[in-house]
Structures are given as C-alpha cells and as structure tokens.
Chains A and B, each alone.
Chain A
Amino acid sequence: GENVEQHPSTLSVQEGDSAVIKCTYSDSASNYFPWYKQELGKGPQLIIDIRSNVGEKKDQRIAVTLNKTAKHFSLHITETQPEDSAVYFCAARYPNTGNQFYFGTGTSLTVIP
C-alpha cells in the first residue's frame, strides 16, 4: 500500500554541522516529493521540492536528492543554525491514488548552539 518511511525520528547536531533526513517511498509511479518544516505552534511550511525528472535540487543551505531506482529521497541541510530546529516532514505524491500526498512520520531536528 501507500507508504512513506522517514528516518531518523530525532536528530541532534552541533551548529555548523550538516543534517541528513532520509525517506523511502513504495510506489515507483510517484513523481513529486515535497519537504515541509514545522516550527513549534505552526503549520507545516513547504521548504523545497523535487520532481522525478531530476536527481538533485539546491536552495542555499538546503538540498534534496532523489534516487528513483532505490525509491529514496533525502533532505540535506548544511551549516545548520539554531533556527533550523524544527520537525521536518517528507511527502510523496502517488498518482495511482488520485495524486494524494502521503507524509512521513517526521524528524525532530535540534541544532545545538
């Protein structure tokens, strides 16, 4: 069935280090993968996305990579800052279920000053 696995569930890094969050999807027909950042008391906010016709996308300190063969995609945050502390969700769009998005269970990232 439709499934998105996300790891790790919690991640602590020192300020300035890099953070990597990984997700796996189950449907090879999935073609769009957004990432959301949820700060305390707020709704999830789209921070970056990638479509299946590219392997990598960067936006300043944030990058996302996609391996279609392995059905993996990852979020990379470099030079982490305390304001990067939040819960991050990955998602995958499943065309065979009416283009519904399925979300991972979230990664709580803490950046230690």
Chain B
Amino acid sequence: DSGVTQTPKHLITATGQRVTLRCSPRSGDLSVYWYQQSLDQGLQFLIQYYNGEERAKGNILERFSAQQFPDLHSELNLSSLELGDSALYFCASSKEWGLNGYTFGSGTRLTVV
C-alpha cells in the first residue's frame, strides 16, 4: 500500500456520461497530481494541485476538471465521456512541489462503452 488511495478501482460507463474519480494523498503530502495512461501509452500529465490551489496544467481536455479540497483529497471530473477516454487514471502525491519523486496510487480503470 503506497498510502495514496484512489476510488473507485474500476468504472464502466456509457458515452456522454460524467464520472468523478477520487484521490486521497499520502498523509502529510500537499501536492496532488493526476495522470492518464492509455493503452500502450506513457503517463500523460493532466493537472497538479498544491495545498488546494491549481499549480500546473498539462494535456487536460476542457471536458475534464479537478479540484483539491481543504482536507487535501482531490477529485477529477470527466464529462461528456467518449470512447477514447477509456484509460487508467492515476493520482500521485508528494510532500513538496516537485522536489522529490511522486507516490502513485493504484489507479482507476475507466471503461467507456
């Protein structure tokens, strides 16, 4: 157990729907990062939050949004889902902003049918 908790582990939904993925960072970590991993693809950075504030955006679609709450957990919202959104979504956390490597959760596997 890495200490980063992601729920749900698996999610199957239909095109056009909206889903919310949840992440609880490791205790004491202030930064949360979201990554997308598609089949045969590497880790694509989506967005980063630090202590409740958005710090950086990567290749995140306008249909996707995220937030980090006062208790530091984060949610990634995916709307108007398309078949191509099927992927593994990972959350990672770190103590400081980018000083050391990240601790990843076990991911949420999203399947859009």
Q: Is the CB of A43 within 8 A of B105?
A: yes
Count contacts on B: residues with CB < 8 A to the other chain: 23
Q: Does A42 contact B (CB under 8 A)?
A: yes
Q: Is the CB of A99 within 8 A of B90?
A: no
**Docked pose: A37 CA to B95 CA in angstroms:** 20
The minimal Cβ–Cβ distance linking B10 to chain A, given in whole angstroms, is 11
Q: Is the CB of A106 within 8 A of B107?
A: no
The minimal Cβ–Cβ distance linking B110 to chain A, given in whole angstroms, is 15
Q: Does A112 contact B (CB under 8 A)?
A: no
Q: Does A25 contact B (CB under 8 A)?
A: no
The main secondary structure of chain A at its interface with chain B is: strand
CB-nearest residue of chain A to B97 = A99
A10-47 residues at the B interface, CB under 8 angstroms: 32, 34, 36, 41-46
B56-113 residues at the A interface, CB under 8 angstroms: 56, 58, 90, 92, 97-107
Q: Does A65 contact B (CB under 8 A)?
A: no
**Docked pose: A97 CA to B56 CA in angstroms:** 9
Q: Given that A93-B98, A99-B99 are contacting pairs, would A45 and B104 also be in contact in the complex, using a CB cutoff of 8 Å?
A: yes
Task: Choose from B43, B48, B97, B98 the contact partner of A89 (Cβ within 8 Å).
Answer: B43
Seen from chain B, the residues whose Cβ lies within 8 Å of a Cβ on chain A are 2, 4, 41-43, 45, 48, 55-56, 58, 90, 92, 97-107
